[in-house]
């Protein structure tokens, strides 16, 4: 990892947008502070598209999409997206078809390529598994944001509970044997039957919503994150940043972020935003 001072003007000026994690990246232990929120406005003023990409629930995405200066929100580790505005011609199927059907005018729309009833049945199976786990591992508990989720179920391992790492690993091993994918953030263990992750969710949205070529998008957008479930995005995008607290999670990352801030969480995000915007000043649009 390199310090932000090594980021070049050419790299900053080539960007079309910034994708960012929420927990412990823009947020400080779940709280939005002035430095982190201000960083979003600085990036917006620099002409960059902004996309939140989080393991948090779709319900959170619908709120921040209405209130924050951002273009889209990827929620539940890439499984769904929340957008505003006109979508284009209503054609196609799956995720792109959902986009065309759902998003119109200035309304906020949730994009999910799965039928609603099938989604409910799949999630009910995950809830039953999670209930069994927290009964057998009493240090853990269901996370308090589960009622706002559409595709996955989360167990609190580090937000309001402190679950021993060996318990987390045992739970993950059991779930793997049952065919359930797990993703680990700084606060939650996610249970999902969806194949998406943060990288595939973002690239899919950039292609369907922003008209980006999937390969070129990986070079035109930067990713900012902090922990294990950001690992696929750190590997997928060419220009990546970590806030300082990413150092505690390097053992879980096969590819670390290219650049790292000197400060943690929201202050680190603001530091990254400041560096990018300063380098882009008086530069032509990419």
Contact, 216 vs 203, CB < 8 A? no
The region, left, alpha or beta by phi > 0 then psi within -120 to 50, assigned to residue 31 is beta
Last residue of a domain, one of 192, 220, 255: 192
Q: 75 and 211, same structural domain?
A: yes
**181 lies in some domain:** yes
Element (H, E) at 210: helix 198-210
Name the residue range of residue 174's domain. 116-192
Q: 130 and 166: one domain? A: yes
**Mean pLDDT along residues 38-66:** 95
pLDDT level of residue 94 (50, 70, 90 thresholds): very low
| 232 shares its domain with 97 | yes
Residues 30-44: what's their mean pLDDT? Answer: 96
**How confident is the model over 120-152, as pLDDT tens digits?**
999 999 999 999 999 999 999 999 999 999 999
Residue 286 within any structural domain of the chain: no
Q: Both 219 and 157 in a single domain?
A: no
pLDDT, the chain, mean: 89
Last-in-domain residue among 172, 192, 212: 192
CATH number at residue 92: 3.40.50.1000
Check pLDDT > 50 for residue 230. yes
How much of the chain exceeds pLDDT 70, in percent?
Answer: 91
Last residue of some domain: 152, 176, 192? 192
pLDDT-based confidence at 285, cuts 50/70/90? low
* 192-227 confidence digits (pLDDT tens): 999 989 999 999 999 998 999 999 999 999 999 998
- Are 26 and 124 within one domain? no
Distances (CA, A) of 62 to 67, 107, 109, 216, 262: 9, 10, 8, 28, 31
Q: Are 187 and 215 within one domain? A: no
Candidate from 21-25, 109-113, 169-173 with smallest mean pLDDT? 109-113
Indicate which CATH number applies to the domain containing 173: 3.90.1070.10
**What's residue 93's pLDDT?**
34
Residue 87: the pLDDT is: 40
As for how many domains the chain has, the answer is 2
213 and 93, same domain (yes or no): yes
Do 185 and 202 lie in a common domain? no
* Residues 17 and 96 reside in one and the same domain: yes
Q: What's the pLDDT band for 91 if we cut at 50, 70, 90?
A: very low
Q: Looking at the predicted structure, is the pLDDT value of residue 75 above 60? A: yes
Mean pLDDT of 251-273: 95
In a domain, 261, yes or no: yes
In a domain, 253, yes or no: yes
Distance CA 103, CA 37 (A): 26
Paired with 32 in beta bridges are 27
With respect to residue 170, please indicate whether it lies within any of the assigned structural domains: yes
Q: What is the pTM of this model?
A: 0.86
pLDDT of 171 higher than 70: yes
Identify whether residues 105 and 223 lie together within a single domain.
yes
């Amino acid at each position: 990892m390199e310090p932000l001072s090594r980021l070049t003007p050419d790299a900053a000026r080539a960007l079309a947008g910034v994708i960012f994690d929420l927990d412990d990246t823009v947020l400080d232990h779940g709280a939005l502070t002035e430095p982190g929120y201000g960083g979003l406005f600085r990036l917006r003023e620099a002409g960059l598209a902004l996309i939140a990409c989080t393991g948090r629930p779709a319900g959170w995405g619908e709120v921040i999409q209405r209130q924050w200066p951002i273009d889209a929100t990827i929620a539940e580790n890439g499984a769904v997206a929340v957008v505003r505005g006109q979508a284009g011609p209503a054609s196609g199927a799956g995720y792109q078809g959902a986009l065309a059907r759902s998003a119109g005018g200035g309304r906020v729309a949730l994009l999910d390529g799965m039928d609603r009833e099938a989604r409910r049945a799949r999630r009910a199976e995950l809830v039953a598994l999670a209930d069994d786990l927290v009964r057998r591992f009493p240090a853990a508990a269901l996370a308090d944001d589960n009622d706002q989720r559409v595709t996955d179920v989360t167990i609190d391992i580090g937000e309001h509970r402190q679950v021993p790492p060996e318990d987390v690993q045992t739970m993950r091993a059991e779930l793997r044997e049952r065919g359930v994918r797990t993703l680990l953030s700084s606060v939650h263990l996610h249970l999902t039957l969806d194949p998406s992750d943060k990288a595939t969710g973002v690239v899919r949205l950039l292609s369907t919503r922003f008209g980006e070529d999937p390969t070129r998008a990986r070079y035109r957008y930067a990713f900012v994150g902090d922990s294990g479930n950001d690992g696929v995005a750190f590997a997928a995008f060419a220009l990546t940043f970590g806030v300082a607290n990413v150092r505690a999670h390097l053992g879980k990352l096969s590819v670390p972020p290219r650049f790292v801030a000197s400060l943690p969480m929201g202050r680190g995000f603001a530091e990254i935003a400041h560096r990018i915007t300063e380098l882009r000043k008086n530069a032509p649009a990419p």
